[in-house]
Structure 1
Amino acid sequence: FCMCPGGYVVNASSEHGETCVNGMSYSGRDGENSNSAIVVNVTPEDYGSDHPLAGMKFQRRWEKAAYEAGQGAVPVQLFGDYRRDIPTEKLGGVKPQIKGKYRLTSLKCCLPEYIKDAIIEGVVSFDKRMPGYSSDDAVLSGIEARTSSPVRMIRGDELRCEGTCIYPCGEGAGYAGGITSSAVDGMKVAEAIASRFSNEAITDGTQENING
């Protein structure tokens, strides 16, 4: 997910006392290393509450933990140390490319145990296609807890909020989890809007004006 060739990890935190990272590449994509996010599925059952904003509380809990682990900087750990569950004290053969300060530490406290295990499984699996991906010296930095919205705006069969002209769509509204899926959802909503006004025009007898 979110592969950034020749890219950088950036501190994208937006709230005091919380750390959230993201990835980016300059147009030349000529940085020393590449980075990519590893995404683990999180469901409402993991939030521990049925409150409408439970997802946001879950997100904030772990971003606060990441802030504490890095003492305000981006927490960094080598993959080999992550697997062995020991804090990283020195870097190996990979130089971190991070915009902003970073701190060598342990990421264990920044994620639930099941997510930690799933990340290890995913990285090892990727290594079968891209040898070296699961190198002990690979650098992990965290956390990116905003790959998709933790809140979903409810919409009906016509893809709009009931009784309104509001059409929630894309990542922020909780209907996508990336650039491509957001674009597809946006197209679906655009078609729904066009269909609605086309049908209303036919009902009002103004189809000729639209076509003309």
Structure 2
Amino acid sequence: VNASSEDERLVVNGMSDYKRDAENANSALVVSVRPEDFETNSPLAGIEFQRKYESMAFKLGGSDFSAPVQLAKDFLAGKKSSQLESVNPSFTGKTVLSDLRSCLPEFISDTLSEGLRYFDNKIKGFASGGAIMTGVEMRTSAPVRIARDNNFESVGIQGLYPAGEGAGYAGGIISAALDGIRVALAAIESCNTGH
């Protein structure tokens, strides 16, 4: 789905209907991005990074919130897709055949290529058979992190326990849930010991 929240910036987000009975499987490959990958040392450099590539994706899609799509095999070959094959995009809006490498930093494109090859060796057809990539999803995790100490409590604000994706400590539903459990246990322990 289109998850854009700003003019002239495109963000997509994978989702599945509650019945999980759609025509296509929905999966994602996530690439770690670290502060040293940003162009500046600004506290908001992560947001600047997201906005830059979301703007590039918007333009690549035709500047009308159409999503750029590419066959996985063409992504691996480094060429723009010219036609779809056996899989139709499940994106809810319009799509444009593209070369997703032109709206991603090189290190992300290279890492995605490694991941596609790895998964295609484990799950035959993952990167072939008409498999489609839709981009870009630059918001799997918060671009900022609320500092917390070893007891999971906010640095500087006693009694505040930042947790999950929004606080910058998870990158998905499961990791957010696990982080939430760890933080809840720490908060309970703090209440029990009177700290």
- What is the CA distance between 1:186 and its match in structure 2? 1.0
Q: Which runs of 4+ in 1 moved over 6 A?
A: none
**1:156-175 to 2 correspondences below 5 Å:** 156-161=149-154, 162-175=156-169
Q: Is the 8 A contact 1:79 1:136 kept in 2?
A: no
Aligned residue for 2:33?
42
1:107 aligns with 2:87: no
| Superposition TM-score, scaled by structure 1 size | 0.85
Mapping 1:68-107, distance limit 5 Å: 68-71=59-62, 72-107=65-100
For residues 1-212 of structure 1, the aligned pairs below 5 Å read 10-71=1-62, 72-135=65-128, 137-161=130-154, 162-200=156-194
Is the 8 Å Cα contact of residues 86 and 129 (structure 2) preserved in structure 1? no
Superimposed CA distance per residue, residues 157-209 of structure 1 (whole angstroms, 9 cap, x where no aligned partner): 33222243221111110111221221121112212222222222xx9xxxxxx
Number of corresponding residues: 192
State the shift of 1:136 in Å: 6.0
Deviations 1:28-69 (A, max 9, x none): 222111121111111111002211111111011101111110
User: Which blocks of at least 5 consecutive residues in structure 1 are unaligned?
Assistant: 1-9, 204-212
Separation of aligned partners in 2, 1:114 and 1:148: 18
How far does residue 122 in structure 1 lie from its aligned partner after superposition?
0.8
Alpha-carbon displacement from aligned partner over 1:53-92 (angstroms, at most 9, x marks no partner): 1111101110111111002211111122222322222211
SS for the counterpart of 2:122 is coil
Q: 1:114 to 1:163 in 2, by over 3 A?
A: closer
Distance 1:84 1:191 in 2: 48
Higher strand proportion (structure 1 or 2): 1
CA contact (8 A) 2:170 2:179 kept: yes
Aligned residue identity for 1:137: G
Q: Give unpaired runs (5+ residues) of structure 2.
A: none
Contact 1:81 1:136 in 2 (8 A): no
Identical positions, percent: 45
